[in-house]
A and B are shown apart, each in its own frame.
Chain A
Amino acid sequence: MAKTVNLKIDGIDVSVEQGTTVLDAAKKLNIHIPTLCYHEDLCVAGNCRVCVVEQEGAKNLVASCAMPASEGMIIHTNTHKVRNARRHVVELLLSEHNADCTKCYKNTKCELQNLASEMVITEPMFIDLVPFKEYKIDKQSPSIIKDDSKCIRCQRCVRTCHELQHVSALGVAYKGDHMKISTFFENPMYDVVCTNCGQCVNRCPTGALIEKNYIDQVWDAIYDPNKHVIVQTAPATRIALGEDLGMEPGSIVTGKMAASLRRLGFDSVLDTDFTADLTIMEEGTELLTRLKKALVDKDQSIKLPMFTSCSPGWIKFIEHLYPEYLDNLSTCKSPQQMFGALAKTYYAQKKGIDPATIVSVSIMPCTAKKFEAARPEMRDSGFQDVDLGITTRELAVMIKQAGIEFESLSDEKFDSIMGESTGAAVIFGATGGVMEAALRTAYELVTGREVPFKNLNITAVRGMEGVREASVKLENVLPAWSFLEGVELKTAVAHGLTNAHQIMEAIKKGEANYHFVEVMGCPGGCIGGGGQPIPTTPEIRRKRAEAIYREDEGMKIRKSHENPEVIQIYKEFLGEPLGHKSHELLHTHYHPRKRV
């Protein structure tokens, strides 16, 4: 057992495990110490000094986020000296900060603004240096805006991109008062290795990294009487949206979300979960086909393991850093893009609507989805398949703008068609979910029996471990699948691109022989997506994941192949999984990109 140490904070005794920081020890006593560069997901940087406290016997103030508690320590968090020092830190940051809060996207949601407000900083103490700085704004990316005039150089973004994503699209360049957060050669984010995952956006304490928002464009479409505006909502939005509207993390708000979208004025409120189920049909069939070609036909051109292709951050990661593995990616489009392609074909036909008048909006936990929607590959309907992708956060803004009292809404259902879904679809939102959903369907397809796990819950692929492995033995298979008799299907799951990198290196070195690998670009999967409510922390990701699995357990149907609308679309429109029409609309190929 770890040793405990005893210390005194503001006159109160507290015992904590050795290694605990003074900041966390204070938290235990419900004493709040302000922070800026500190983030629970990241290693300690200790560069902002806003968290300083006074330690008796120490000459200087100490940074509580970086200082481990030790035996007999006496700490004061609220002395005159401490308050002055913190105030100076914030004032100095503001002297270089373009603080036009009323014109800032982060207004009322900004950690720097909160501190300035708490400290009642009204008269600046230092001269304004902003006019002397040549700050740049980069708006070229369809996903992210980087505004250096709002950057406090806390480096949360740099640590995020390095530690969580193994991309390091952002680094620290120059030194002293020229120091800035920069891409390679200060190229636009659009033109570098950035995956658009938005994890940096989710952690930036200010308005320096924000999502490019399309709120006004969505309103314009809604108010245009000549447009038929449909909306799809990703699995992970329904368990997180409430957080931005005054509710606790882990609240399931599927029904309220559908109700609010109807109030906003969307003509049809539909569900990405429908195409998540469809993805399982296509991807499951693709996996079995690949296995057959590889195991029976001994076709050398077939690439295994097959990787999932739902996460656009992961796709771009592969394009930049592992282009030699592009053929291992499932050819399935993501659920967002399957939905988009079907909305302007199948849906338009069924409803008798001219697809040219359809505006297709998606609500996503993700900033990379904006980039994905704008990809040239994604126009198979003859139009841009998804017109506008907005994040969970942007939807919350719209709900507030419309004056909707979200918590008091009664639950409503999605519209039909393309609104029906199963428990297998909703778990797409959590890491391991696609794997679990695929196994529920593929196993049953091959053996004619349900997966041999209690309540259909495949717990081996659940959880927050960075890389997880599971294997399922296929026995007593149906005659059509006899070549799989006795085969042990080996799978792995990774979330966050640092873990993806780890799995890719193992595969590259030949240390791993999986058949099927699920990768989600963000830690925790979509529930921890870059477009989800801020803050996102390990604790909050855990609560959101629990909510996802609760939602799954509460669904009447929990296997994708039993979704009645999925059965219907194959009968009426698609024919069969991997059929001609599917190929045309639901599958695609990606292309190598440069390494920087």
Chain B
Amino acid sequence: MPEIKELVKQLADKHGRNRESLLPILQGIISEERYISDFAMTEVARELDMSAALVYGTATFYSFLDTEPRGKYVIRLCRTITCDMKGKKQILRTIEDLLKIEIGETTKDKKFTLLETNCLGWCHKGPAMLINDDAYTELTPEKVSEIIGDYMKNR
């Protein structure tokens, strides 16, 4: 996996090799790879001359630093109470039907991963979800079909 090695090195050159560089480097890996493998963590530990257990601790602390392989587009549907009361369940069912996967799973073509997340701060416009870094709010089954359909066709 020389690419990861190279990526980690580039990120370290950019963000530095101190303890406080750890988070931006891990975020950099996520935006390239969608997840941080054990190999990537080992490389980060080596580049920053720190313990791999500490890298692992940081990676597992933040929900958005995934440590398992993810699809190109990670859908995170809010599961917290406001969105739940505003109809999150139907949204979830619609996505599951469209992509033929359940929460925690990735489509066969590795394009989508479906996850739940805690409150996104869009409660006033729930139900809300993220696809990678973009927020989608006031979702209805129709609206979410349209959004996902667009990702399926055009990206």
Contact = CB atoms under 8 A, between A and B. Distances in A.
Given A171-B53, A172-B61, A173-B60, 14 more contacts: A162-B51, A168-B53, A171-B54, A173-B61, A175-B60, A175-B61, A182-B56, A185-B38, A192-B52, A193-B53, A595-B42, A596-B45, A596-B52, A596-B53
Interface string B114-149: 000000000000000000000000000000000000
Interface string A156-184: 00000010000111111111000000111
B41 interface: yes
Given A168-B50, A169-B53, A596-B52, A184 B41 contact: yes
A183 B45 CA distance: 13
B46 A182 contact: no
Interface in B47-78: 50-57, 60-61
Interface of A: 162, 167-175, 182-185, 192-193, 595-596
Interface in B1-59: 38, 41-42, 45-46, 50-57
Contact of B61 (A167, A174, A183, A184): A174
A142 to B, nearest CB: 20
Contact of B56 (A167, A171, A175): A171
Interface residues of B, number: 15
B60 A596 contact: no
Contacts, number: 55
A182 B51 contact: no
Contacts of B56: 171, 173, 182, 184-185
Q: Which secondary structure characterizes the binding site on chain B?
A: helix
16 contacts: A162-B51, A167-B51, A169-B53, A171-B53, A172-B57, A173-B53, A173-B57, A174-B60, A174-B61, A175-B61, A184-B38, A184-B55, A192-B53, A595-B46, A595-B52, A596-B42
B25 to A, nearest CB: 17
Contact of B54 (A168, A174, A185, A192): A168
Contacts of B52: 184, 192-193, 595-596
A595 B51 CA distance: 9
Nearest to A178: B60
Contacts of B57: 171-173, 182
A552 to B, nearest CB: 38
A260 to B, nearest CB: 40
Contacts of B60: 173-175, 182
Nearest to A184: B52
A173 B56 CA distance: 7
Nearest to A172: B57
A183 B55 CA distance: 10
A192 B56 CA distance: 13
Contacts of B51: 162, 167-169, 171, 184, 193, 596
Given A173-B60, A174-B60, A175-B61, A183 B46 contact: no
A169 B54 CA distance: 8
A169, A170, A175, A184, most chain B CB atoms within 10 A: A184
A267 B108 CA distance: 68
A257 B61 CA distance: 49
A595 B61 contact: no
A174 B41 CA distance: 15
A129 to B, nearest CB: 21
B64 to A, nearest CB: 13
What are the 4 A-B residue pairs with the smallest beta carbon separation, nearest first?
A: A168-B51, A171-B53, A171-B57, A596-B52
A168 B46 CA distance: 14
Nearest to A176: B61
A49 B45 CA distance: 33
A171 B51 CA distance: 9
Contacts of A168: 50-51, 53-54
Contacts of A170: 53
Contacts of B61: 172-175
Contacts of A167: 51
Contacts of A169: 51, 53
B84 to A, nearest CB: 19
